[in-house]
């Protein structure tokens, strides 16, 4: 029988891929131009392929600009990126302490898997979500850098699952709890194709990918639904986050929300793809 699959020609596929790369690069350069200031001293560097362009954009500013800055990674991949670029590397727990408090990062840049209308994010496709969240909340300003494919009216529409980092011992019980919360088929993520077994995070934990119906925003709930944070089996983002974090064994979740205006998203649009 003839095949009706709408497959793209190799040439169309490679031009679509290069459009995406241009958009990632445009988003990264724009984010660094707008949000990295010469007076900044501590800068968070996230994970994923878009962040590679963030580091390129920082390097392009020259050593007199980035030389006085110290960069804090979100895991082994970004540690390698910072090192390879010749930037000053430190760690979250090595920042100076002033008046009994670790100094905040001035700004942190990181990628995302999906971004909704209120700038809530799904992160964790690369299994670095725990340290990504620690770096994000340690920063005065958190900048998500993402290309146009990540934009979505509601979370769990394009990226269908929420990555959840769990203590391996607790995984069977967490799976059961997630199902009871309305996640139809949560699954333990497996490792890289070359490695058998589960995906093990930089923290020695496992990841569960939990599908949920599209997540609601506060404006989607009527006043009578605000109490339980749900409408027709769909969760509002912040309520689901709260409930997930109560489950014993879950150490962190890939829902990033409630940055209270402290968050900006730089989405590389097709029209900006020519930007350096
Ligand atoms: C990290 O890398 C993750 O939180 C997210 O899963 C992923 C995004 O990667 P990319 O920029 O390659 O799409 O930021």
> Is any ligand 1 atom within 6 A of the Cβ of residue 125?
yes
Could you tell me whether strands 142-147 and 107-110 are parallel, antiparallel, or unpaired per DSSP bridges? Answer: parallel
Sign of the Cα torsion 192, 194, 195, 201 reads negative
Per the listing, tokens 């009578």 go with 224
Residue range 20-39, pLDDT digits in tens: 999 999 999 999 999 999 99
Cα(2) to ligand 1 centroid in Å equals: 38
Residue 274 has pLDDT above 50, yes or no: no
What lies within 8 Å, CB to CB, of 218 at 6+ separation is 226, 236, 238
What is the pLDDT, as a whole number, of residue 2?
43
> Is any ligand 1 atom within 6 A of the Cβ of residue 123?
yes
Residue 275 has pLDDT above 50, yes or no: no
Instruction: Tell which wins on pLDDT, 237 or 7.
Output: 237
Query: With bands split at pLDDT 50, 70 and 90, how would you rate the model's confidence at 17?
Result: confident
Residue range 62-85, pLDDT digits in tens: 999 999 999 999 999 999 999 999
> Is any ligand 1 atom within 6 A of the Cβ of residue 268?
no
Report yes or no: 215 and 235 within 8 Å, Cβ to Cβ.
Answer: yes
To test the pocket of ligand 1, the residue of 26, 81, 112 to mutate (highest count of ligand atoms within 8 Å of its CB) is 112
Instruction: Tell which wins on pLDDT, 90 or 18.
Output: 90
d(Cα 79, Cα 90) in Å, to the nearest integer?
Answer: 9
Task: Give the mean pLDDT of 260-273.
Answer: 55
Residue 164 has pLDDT above 50, yes or no: yes
Query: With bands split at pLDDT 50, 70 and 90, how would you rate the model's confidence at 262?
Result: low
Cα(107) to ligand 1 centroid in Å equals: 18
The ipTM assigned to this model is 0.98
Is the whole-model pTM more than 0.80?
yes
Residue range 169-223, pLDDT digits in tens: 999 999 999 999 999 999 999 986 666 799 999 999 999 999 999 999 999 998 8
Query: With bands split at pLDDT 50, 70 and 90, how would you rate the model's confidence at 267?
Result: low
What is the pLDDT, as a whole number, of residue 80?
97
């Amino acid at each position: 029988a003839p095949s009706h699959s709408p497959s793209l020609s190799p040439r169309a596929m490679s031009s679509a891929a290069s459009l995406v790369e241009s958009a990632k690069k445009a988003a990264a350069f724009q984010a660094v131009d707008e949000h990295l200031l010469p007076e900044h001293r501590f800068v968070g560097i996230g994970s994923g392929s878009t962040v590679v362009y963030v580091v390129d954009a920082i390097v392009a500013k020259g050593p007199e600009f980035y030389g006085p800055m110290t960069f804090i990674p979100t895991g082994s991949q970004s540690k390698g990126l910072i090192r390879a670029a010749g930037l000053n590397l430190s760690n979250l727990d090595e920042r100076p302490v002033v008046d009994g408090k670790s100094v905040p990062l001035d700004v942190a840049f990181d990628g995302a898997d999906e971004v909704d209308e209120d700038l809530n994010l799904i992160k964790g496709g690369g299994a670095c979500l725990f340290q990504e969240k620690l770096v994000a909340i340690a920063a005065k300003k958190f900048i998500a850098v993402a290309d146009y494919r990540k934009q979505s009216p509601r979370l769990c529409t394009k990226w269908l699952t929420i990555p959840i980092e769990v203590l391996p011992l607790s995984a069977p019980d967490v799976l059961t709890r997630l199902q009871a919360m309305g996640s139809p088929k949560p699954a333990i993520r497996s490792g890289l194709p070359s490695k058998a077994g589960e995906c093990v995070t930089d923290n020695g934990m496992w990841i569960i990918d939990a599908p949920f119906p599209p997540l609601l925003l506060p404006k989607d709930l009527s006043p009578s639904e605000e109490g339980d944070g749900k409408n027709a089996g769909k969760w509002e983002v912040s309520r689901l986050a709260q409930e997930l974090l109560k489950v014993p064994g879950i150490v962190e979740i890939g829902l990033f929300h409630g940055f209270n205006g402290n968050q900006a998203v730089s989405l590389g649009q097709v029209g900006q793809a020519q930007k350096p």
